[in-house]
Amino acid sequence: MPLLLAYSLRNLYVRKLTNLLTATGMALVVFVYAAVLMLDSGLKQTLVATGEDTNVIFVRRSAEVEIQSLIDRRQARIIESQPEVVIGAEGAPLVSKESAVLISRPRRGGKQASNVLVRGVGPAALAVRPQVRLAEGRMFRPGSNEIVIGRALAGRFEDVEIGSSLRFAHREWKIVGRFDAGGSGFDSEIWGDSEQLMQSFRRDFFSSVTVRLADRSSFDTLKARLEADPRLTIEAKRERIFYEEQSRLLSGFIQMLGITLSVMFSLGAVIGATITMYAAVASRMMEVGVLRALGFRRSRILVAFLVEALLLALVGWVVGLSFASLMMQVKISTLNWTSLSELAFRFVLTPEIVLRSLVFALVMGFLGGFLPAVRAARMKIVDALRVA
């Protein structure tokens, strides 16, 4: 190890209590910063995973979410008859004509009620969305009042478990299975037969139509043709983009809150680091004087103290990020402000967050160490030596 680096490291060790406290302050900020980014990335990942690039979702023009959208049966038939739609093994096009309705259910543990999205799906729903598979029980029978629940719902709402019944839309609905949608937004939904659900909810229109393309590059042609069709007042979006857009409002809020909190906390941490580094410089004035006398340039003194502050920040980063990574075990469920339904997701640590939090910690260290390092570098040698 280079001698000067060893010198900086050992000096950090000598004042270990003060430095540990300073690093802890930085660790706390890194924790908050990383946790917020992880939350945001979890939200995005969940919603992005909900959509598939080969799927196209059709909703009424200018409807941001399915519950605002209406597509009548005639329009749905036009969409499913398009040549770009892939034909399934049973000879029928892979299309899911769906209705989406919000119901309010009490959350388990006497908490307030929250919205759950009930999705009526067509027979080809599972073929259109290969990421969704049955995990327990069985699929609902078409034409029956049976429903299946997403895995994220189980345990979070009263009576939402296999074998029990839910009452909504003037009918009793029996839960016969639980599906796993691979951590996507569908995991927070209830699925049933779309015709049955539409009847119960007294509607005669779908909310959306999702089709699977034979060739994903045919999206633009299909979109252009159908959006220009005067019989249709619809908008086509790649399914992935559609769900990704649903994360924007909540994601924007999480990011703003996170950045505000992080900046406020980091001010405290930077001031803490500055005080610590000023104390380090003050207690080592003689050493600075000697180094300068021996021929070390001002710039090397500056770098030596900055390196110390950066090492301090590095310790804070490692500790903060380690604790933040434990958050991956935590599952969050909150209302998605765009779809207005409850959405469950996890804290997700990505390489980008690791890198961003590292840069954040190093910037804190740099800002905290800069003024003390400048002071050390600008010290007159004779004044510094006189302290000894």
Partner 1 sequence: MTVLRVSDAPTGEDVLIALSDVSKSYRRGGQIVPVLSKLTFDIRRKEFLALMGPSGSGKSTLLNLIAGIDSPDHGSIEVGGEDITLLPEADLADWRAANVGFIFQFYNLMPVLTALENVELPLTLTSLGRRDRRDRAQLALSLVGLSDRVKHLPSELSGGQQQRVAIARAIVTDPTMLVADEPTGDLDRQSAEEVLEIMQRLNRDLGKTIVMVTHDRRAAARARRIMHLEKGDLSYLVEQRLE
* φ and ψ of 147, to 5 deg: -135, 160
Query: Residue 372, SS3?
Result: helix
Site membership for partner 1, residue 4 (CB under 8 A)? yes
Among 187, 287, 308, 342, binds partner 1 (CB under 8 A): 287
Site membership for partner 1, residue 297 (CB under 8 A)? yes
237: β partners: 57
Residue 29 tokens read as 């900020």
Residue 10 CB, nearest approach to partner 1 (Å): 4
Site membership for partner 1, residue 14 (CB under 8 A)? yes
Per CB under 8 A, the segment of 69-77, 108-116, 209-217, 295-303 that binds partner 1 is 295-303
Residue 13 CB, nearest approach to partner 1 (Å): 8
Distance CA 366, CA 312 (A): 10
- What binding mask, one character per residue, do residues 346-385 give for partner 1 by CB under 8 A, x or -? ----------------------------------xxx--x
Distance CA 197, CA 203 (A): 9
Contacting residues for 4 by C-beta, under 8 A, at least 6 apart: 300, 304, 307
| Among 346, 259, 275, 285, residue whose Cα is nearest residue 309 | 275
Distance CA 184, CA 138 (A): 20
Query: Residue 298, SS3?
Result: helix
Among 212, 292, 342, 367, binds partner 1 (CB under 8 A): 292
Among 11, 196, 251, 266, binds partner 1 (CB under 8 A): 11
Residue 250 near residue 351 (C-beta atoms within 8 A) = no
Per CB under 8 A, the segment of 72-80, 90-98, 161-169, 286-294 that binds partner 1 is 286-294
Per CB under 8 A, the segment of 61-69, 128-136, 184-192, 281-289 that binds partner 1 is 281-289
Site membership for partner 1, residue 3 (CB under 8 A)? yes
Q: Which is nearer to partner 1, 9 or 249 (CB)?
A: 9
Helix-helix angle 298-326:16-50, to 10 degrees: 50
Applying CB under 8 A, what is the total number of residues that bind partner 1? Answer: 27
Residue 12 tokens read as 């950090």
| Among 187, 352, 365, residue whose Cα is nearest residue 271 | 365
* Chain residues 136-195 in contact with partner 1, contact rule CB under 8 A: none
Residue 369 CB, nearest approach to partner 1 (Å): 18
Distance CA 52, CA 20 (A): 47
Q: Which is nearer to partner 1, 264 or 381 (CB)?
A: 381
Distance CA 375, CA 129 (A): 63
Distance CA 354, CA 139 (A): 41
Site membership for partner 1, residue 6 (CB under 8 A)? yes
* Chain residues 190-219 in contact with partner 1, contact rule CB under 8 A: none
Site membership for partner 1, residue 296 (CB under 8 A)? yes
Q: Which is nearer to partner 1, 331 or 380 (CB)?
A: 380
**What are the residues binding partner 1 (CB under 8 A)?**
2-4, 6-7, 10-11, 13-14, 286-287, 289-299, 380-382, 385, 388
